[in-house]
Structure 1
């Protein structure tokens, strides 16, 4: 299926077109339009996206840096596949860095304005979870608020170095805070798991405000284990519509 060409007014420079090509290519990979192991035909992709080969080449380089593509020995790129351990390690790495972020925020003292914003974010999640079940729209709002909370958590440490490293980790395939949360959608235990995650959110903010660095770190390390559980459920549980719709799940090699 051909993807619509970029509008003429979007052609405001190679950088802009490269970003758009990068986003389109990522969508195609996660949707299965470019299957794992497939070699990327630069000319064909350029024609499909309606852009020149230069921004496509830049987009391919960036996607290799993200970890979605691998450079081939004879030139060009292919779509990567990932072992279950690869994904679990990426999630564990995010939990480790977020744990360090939480500890430093507690030990250094977090900015009150960011703490208030984080509390407000959690209040919005509380409002969603008061319902006995979440419909698709409510679940989408949960994902948005959850990602926002994790971004604010990083701000609390006030460390540009850690912020940069966490952004790199989150860009690893499947490592974002909401990477596997969709697995919980429409499952009987969905709300219960979200309540557990929300309780951990609240506890880590309490620990940061109380200056309890070790406790805050341990809580965030444990918090990442929910994503590990969702990974196992996505790969080894009874398939659900949500699991089948999980972006990019077809790129993960299941253990035998």
Structure 2
């Protein structure tokens, strides 16, 4: 008789399959490997990813929450169009909020939370030693860094506003983290900003933040445009087939 795996082991294995299905499908969407508007079927995706339909179904729900998938009126899912219309305006607003968090420490009586900055530095040194895979999941870590940095300025209202902006730009910002070299450079840039703040070099920290966010915008626009072209090409080939 074949021994049955303990419930905890089965639960961990199921969770791993769900995460793998989600990250693999998200990467396919981000790279333009699925034509825009094409109905996604659980059976086809499950076969492609070599998993059961359940983790695929859950991945659809999560990607819909990420605004990377949309739903037909009958409940089926398809890849959402990439919206770059307001991207530059939203990035400008994001930069304004984050810069304000940095430069306010140059005013009399205002300082960054040094303990919070030291904790952030330690956290990102650990991430630098063991960086995540370039599957798009780095977006959560990146958002957490920028929110923590802004909270360390002492103005929590700024952080709340940044969270709102993050929700709107997250679907396209994920394009920033699809290669290992970009993750590596982002980690280094994060640490550079924190180090400047810990040294009291406010202007240097602000300059590094500008460069960091500017580089992100350039990469996001280019990669999103590339994905749009790939999807358009695949859609045309599907129609001609």
TM range (shorter): 0.5 to 0.7
Find the counterpart in structure 1 of residue 176 from structure 2: 179
* Cα separation, partners in 2 of 1:179 and 1:57, compared to 1, 3 Å: same
Following the alignment from structure 1 to structure 2, what is the Cα–Cα distance between the partners of residues 122 and 45? 35
Is the CA contact (8 Å cut-off) linking 1:11 and 1:17 kept in structure 2?
Answer: no
Report deviation, 1:86. 4.3
CA deviations 1:73-124 (Å, max 9, x no partner) are 221111112233244345345434434544677776322234346679999x
How many residues of Structure 1 are paired with residues of Structure 2 in the alignment? 203
Is the CA contact (8 Å cut-off) linking 2:69 and 2:77 kept in structure 1?
Answer: yes
Find the counterpart in structure 2 of residue 26 from structure 1: 26
Where do residues 181-200 of structure 1 align in structure 2 (5 Å cutoff)?
A: none
TM-score (norm 2): 0.54
* Cα separation, partners in 2 of 1:121 and 1:18, compared to 1, 3 Å: closer
Find the counterpart in structure 1 of residue 197 from structure 2: 205
Of 149, 152, 156, the match for 1:153: 149
Kindly indicate whether residue 81 of structure 2 is the aligned counterpart of residue 75 of structure 1.
no
Higher helix share: 2
* Cα separation, partners in 2 of 1:92 and 1:155, compared to 1, 3 Å: same
Unaligned runs of 5+ in 1: 1-8, 124-139, 186-196, 235-245
Kindly indicate whether residue 53 of structure 2 is the aligned counterpart of residue 52 of structure 1.
yes
Counterpart secondary structure, 1:78: strand
Unaligned runs of 5+ in 2: 1-8, 126-133, 183-188, 230-241
Is the CA contact (8 Å cut-off) linking 2:94 and 2:165 kept in structure 1?
Answer: no
TM-score (norm 1): 0.52
Find the counterpart in structure 1 of residue 213 from structure 2: 224
